[in-house]
Amino acid sequence: MTTPPDEPHDLHPDTRAVRGGRDSCDPALAPVIWASSTFVSPSVDAAQAAATSVGTERFYSRYGNPTVADFERAVADLEGAEAARAYGSGMGAVTGVILGLCSQGDHIVATRQIYAATQLVLQVMCPRFGIDVTFVDGTEPGAMAAAVRPGKTMLVWAETPANPRLDLVDLDELGAIAGPMTVVDSTFATPFGQRPLAHGVDIVVHSATKAMAGHNDATLGVVATSAELVQWLTGFAVLHGAVASPYDAANGIRGLRTLPIRFARQSASALEVAGWLEKDGRVTEVRHPGLESHPQHDLAVRQMQATGGLVCFDLPGGIAAGRRFVDALELAQLATSLGGPETLVTHPASTTHVNLLPEELAAAGIGPGTIRLSVGLEHPDDIRADLARALDVVDGLA
């Protein structure tokens, strides 16, 4: 028997990425942008039905929008979820989940290794609403489960691979936690690096601004989970309003088409660059989950299909060396973001984390000479040559 061609789940994920998210496009081949903020109802009965159903696509675009819904269906399919809800940014998705599911008196367990803005939501915003948060080391076996307060903990929040040192969380261990809902911010992995729901995790969150949309031209977030939870989150999203623009959703669908090959290439180039940096020996603490020297490399092999485009390392010369290194790069550009076609570099100690004291930096896993590299789609030899030249400058050889 051959596979029926109209049975999308019998197709490989790479194929589904190319073919998905087309329900509102027929017969256009490219995503159709439904720019309309509102839709004409044929009758009062139809308008009433739309106004009282959750996530309706052709009523008012804060509730739902055909282009956005196409993006949502494509992501849900790739994550193996029943449904998805898109947001106006990754932080829209993060906040939409946390404040959509937690109330005064609830408790959250979160991994300490986490995106800085997510950490602020948990550390500063949650207490304002009477939500208590416990941070644990996500790399320590059993730490997340041990921090759960039965009947009180509503969410266990993990990020893997995590900012900034690419620490991993064991997805099987997280998925096995009973009681609270478990969440993974899977931005660094995309559905082509890991599929958290297949490990029993309840909710996957992405900043689609990064590798998913993949071209630095969309600000977009998405949550994939059960249809029931998406209904609930949608009811809340209609009120807080951090909804996705159809223009960004169209760029998100466009990004998904090439995500499998972009992610594979970036993963391979990042591993090559990381291996070269390690051998070169002028930097320390080279981190990439695909390197055998990564403290959780076995876990990466067990739960990741590809390890992504990020590499982190330390320049022994501290702040001054970090600044000189970044300024000396010619190909890699200094910009905050990741997962796009261009290789980007950040020096957290002089930019995103400039206001932290040395001990706060250390607690965040950031050294004065820490460099984060998002390896792009350029030829890896050119990326390596750029890094080598900048290291020569730091060493005073050029």
Ligand X SMILES: *Cc1c(COP(=O)(O)O)cnc(C)c1O
Catalytic positions, please? 62, 115, 185, 210
User: Which position among 72, 159, 170, 272 is part of the footprint of ligand X (CB under 6 A)?
Assistant: 159
Choice from 75, 76, 81, 91 touching ligand X (CB under 6 A)? 91
Task: Name the H helices within 40-106.
Answer: 44-51, 66-79, 90-101
Question: What is the footprint of ligand X within residues 99-118 (CB under 6 A)?
Answer: 115, 117-118
CB of 92 to ligand X, least distance (A): 7
Q: Which of 153, 207, 234, 266 binds ligand X (CB under 6 A)?
A: 207
**Per-residue interface string for the shown chain with ligand X, residues 268-307, x marking contact by CB under 6 A:** ----------------------------------------
- Rounded to the nearest 10 degrees, the angle between the axes of helix 380-394 and helix 318-328 is 130
Sheet holding 203-207, edge to edge: 83-87, 221-225, 203-207, 181-185, 153-159, 107-111, 132-136
Which residue type occupies 57?
E
Beta carbon of residue 337, minimum distance to ligand X (angstroms, whole number): 7
Q: Does 160 bind ligand X (CB under 6 A)?
A: no
| Minimum distance of ligand X from residue 196's CB (angstroms) | 13
Residue 28 neighbours by CB distance under 10 Å? 9
Taking the C-alpha atoms of residue 130 and residue 105, their distance in angstroms, rounded to an integer, is 6
How many CB atoms neighbour CB 355 within 10 A?
A: 6
When the beta carbons of 293 and 336 are compared against ligand X, the nearer one is 336
Task: State the helix-helix crossing angle for 90-101 and 227-240, rounded to 10 degrees.
Answer: 100
Is residue 209 a contact residue for ligand X (CB under 6 A)? yes
Binding mask 219-258 for ligand X (x = CB under 6 A): x-x-------------------------------------
- Contact residues for 247 (Cβ-Cβ < 8 A; gap 6+): 33, 35, 218
**Using the 8-state DSSP alphabet, how is residue 202 labeled?**
S
Q: Which residue, chain included where needed, has tokens 């060493």?
A: 395
SS3 assignment, position 344: strand
Q: Is 210 in the site for ligand X (CB under 6 A)?
A: yes
CB of 185 or CB of 386, closer to ligand X: 185
- Cβ at position 12, least distance to ligand X in Å: 26
**Count of residues binding ligand X (CB under 6 A)?**
17
Which residues here bind ligand X, judged by CB under 6 A?
Answer: 89-91, 94, 115, 117-118, 159, 163, 185, 187-188, 207, 209-210, 219, 221
